[in-house]
Amino acid sequence: MPVSKDLVAASATPLVLAILAEGDSYGYAIIKRVAELSGGHLQWTDGMLYPVLHRLEHQALITAKWSTSETGRRRKYYRITKEGRRQLAAQRQQWQVVDGTLRGIWLQACPA
């Protein structure tokens, strides 16, 4: 079951921030982690991750650093900032509100 585009776009920021909160990472690994976490249901067009990362970097929620990977190529690693963690907490609360609200109505409207 693929998730709709709008939902994917809306969840991109908290997902990226949360993955980076686990530890520094780079584009390809973030994509893989998303696929793993969602069991393959959240399908991103790989390239679209990078504008998101750059936007977050611009907002100083994450920082980036080029360093050499184990394969010898240069790779851009991202790290979450203090401000990013604060943003992540705020996003988490918002998503919990949405989730809680939906949960309440799911049970009454269409009991699974």
Partner 1 sequence: MTAFADQPLVEEQIAQWREYLRRRQAFHGSDIEELEGHLRDQLTALGEAGLTGEEAFLVAVKRIGALDALSREFARAHSDRLWKQLVIGPGAADESTPGAQTEMVVAVGLAIAAALAVKLPALFGLQIDESDQPFYFRNAGLFVLPLLTIFFVWKRKSGLAAALWLALPFAAGAVFANIFHFGPNSDTERLTALHLPMALWLAVGVAYVGHHWFAGEGRMNFVRFSGELAIYYVLIALGGAVLVAFTVMLFASIGMKADWFIGRWLVPCGAAGAVIIGSWLVEAKQSVIENMAPVLTRLFTPLFTVLLLAFLGTMAWTGSPINVERQVLIGFDLLLALVVGLVLYAASARDPQAAPDVFDALQLLLVVSALAVDGVALAAIAGRISEFGFTPNRVAALGENLILLVNLVRTAWLYARFVRHRGPFASLERWQVAYLPVYAAWAAVVVIAFPPVFGYR
Do residues 77 and 64 touch, judged by C-beta distance below 8 A? Answer: yes
State in angstroms the smallest separation of the CB of 82 from partner 1: 22
Nearer to partner 1, 44 or 80 (CB): 44
Residues 25-54 that bind partner 1 (CB under 8 A): 26-28, 31, 45-48, 50-52, 54
- Residue pointed to by tokens 């360093």: 67
Size of the site for partner 1 (CB under 8 A): 21
Tokens 């750059």 correspond to what residue?
54
Report yes or no: 19 and 80 within 8 Å, Cβ to Cβ: no
Beta strand 25-26 with 62-68: parallel, antiparallel or unpaired?
A: unpaired
Q: Does 68 bind partner 1 (CB under 8 A)?
A: no
The reply on whether position 77 binds partner 1 by CB under 8 A is no
Residues 5-24 that bind partner 1 (CB under 8 A): none
- Nearest-angstrom CA–CA distance, 109 and 112: 9
Query: CB of residue 32 vs partner 1: minimum separation in angstroms?
Result: 8
> Could you tell me which residues are beta bridge partners of residue 26?
77
List of residues contacting partner 1 (CB under 8 A): 26-28, 31, 45-48, 50-52, 54-55, 58, 66, 69, 71, 73-76
